[in-house]
Structure 1
């Protein structure tokens, strides 16, 4: 356990990330149910990423964008068939909207893993003092033009359906999401961000 006297998810995430050890750290929510093979599959996915980077470097080829974070799938703990349908709609909306704003897949905090070296390199530029921002999406904007977030659907978790409980809850989440997007766009326009990512691919 790590103590954080300041209230809010953003500060909790910031403190937890700073306290994490190891080259890769996993992040999830307290009410998320992890599958028995969750850690094993996460580590296997990272081994594949690192092996590909090593192979490309030895072959003298450019390694493309560096994977700095990885996000997996999630399914609401609801009776079938609603669980699958609502999960796809909810996560699909987040991925589509955030992905269009970012130019790459967003980090999904309920099920993600991050390179500690990357966090240490960007943390000073990530302002978590605003408790309204969506912390995962906010961190996603720290991904640089030559970096990316990998999506591995085989790494799955079961998540609490609290996000679906009531119009007010849904409205609050959408508000935080768009608030975070526009807050970051004030620092860097979407056109500039996407152009820099296109340039980095050359």
Structure 2
């Protein structure tokens, strides 16, 4: 499998350098690293160029547009996504590839996180609460697991299947959650235990930024209504699963929580 790693960035050269350094030390190196420069005014593009990363310019504002531009540009069979403030463990790419190789039926894989800065005593419990709250708040709306954009991978074929449906032109969309709606409606999302990503605690240092994330999440859920209003979405997912079972298709080929 060829692997593409996509990193959207805007004015975060320092963190991007650390992230790219961690990617260069992988036990299984990605076949290409794509840095999507979302109109940065700092040295983000230069930092990416020095490491040999492929730079994609995205002038349309917002993470949804930048992420989608990176996925569009990716040529690998597997597209991995992380953020500039992420610090992947040395075997992150290797574990991602193994997850897809071990289960050809899955369309996307996601994992957890660990904080690499902030008070040491707060890192583990806050990371656990953060991801648990995200999953608890979004899974009922989705009917399956959400994707965590700082630590996720999807097959390129899956992206090509949903790329025309995602809301890439709305900067106020929560792009991880929006992608989850579209991927999970047609493909299986699996959580991989032990696949944790180092990331910064800085989102919790700005109450305004954290609040905007919450508003974007709620807005993203509601904008998919009435078509994806939970009872109706759940019914479609269940009906699809039953139809596949009756047709002799492995139930794991269907969108499911697991």
For the aligned pair, the TM-score class normalised by the smaller chain equals 0.7 to 0.9
Contact 2:227–2:233 (CA under 8 A) maintained in structure 1: no
Please state how far the C-alpha of 1:121 moved relative to its aligned partner: 1.0
Please state how far the C-alpha of 1:152 moved relative to its aligned partner: 0.5
Gaps of 5+ in 2: 1-54, 243-258
Q: Distance in 2 between matches of 1:87 and 1:98?
A: 17
Q: Distance in 2 between matches of 1:184 and 1:165?
A: 30
Deviation above 6 Å: which 4+ runs of structure 1?
none
Q: Distance in 1 between matches of 2:135 and 2:97?
A: 23
Contact 2:64–2:167 (CA under 8 A) maintained in structure 1: no
Please state how far the C-alpha of 1:131 moved relative to its aligned partner: 0.8
Please state how far the C-alpha of 1:145 moved relative to its aligned partner: 4.2
Q: Confirm or deny that 1:164 pairs with 2:218.
A: no
Map 1:10-159; keep pairs closer than 5 Å.
Answer: 10-50=64-104, 66-77=105-116, 78-145=118-185, 147-159=187-199
Q: Which residue of 2 aligns with 1:7?
A: 61
Q: Which residue of 1 aligns with 2:215?
A: 175
Contact 1:105–1:148 (CA under 8 A) maintained in structure 2: no
Q: Which residue of 1 aligns with 2:241?
A: 201
Which structure exhibits the higher relative contact order, with contacts defined as CA atoms closer than 8 Å and separated by 6 or more residues?
Answer: 1
Q: Distance in 2 between matches of 1:8 and 1:144?
A: 23
- What is the TM-score when the length of structure 2 is the normalising length? 0.69
- What is the TM-score when the length of structure 1 is the normalising length? 0.88
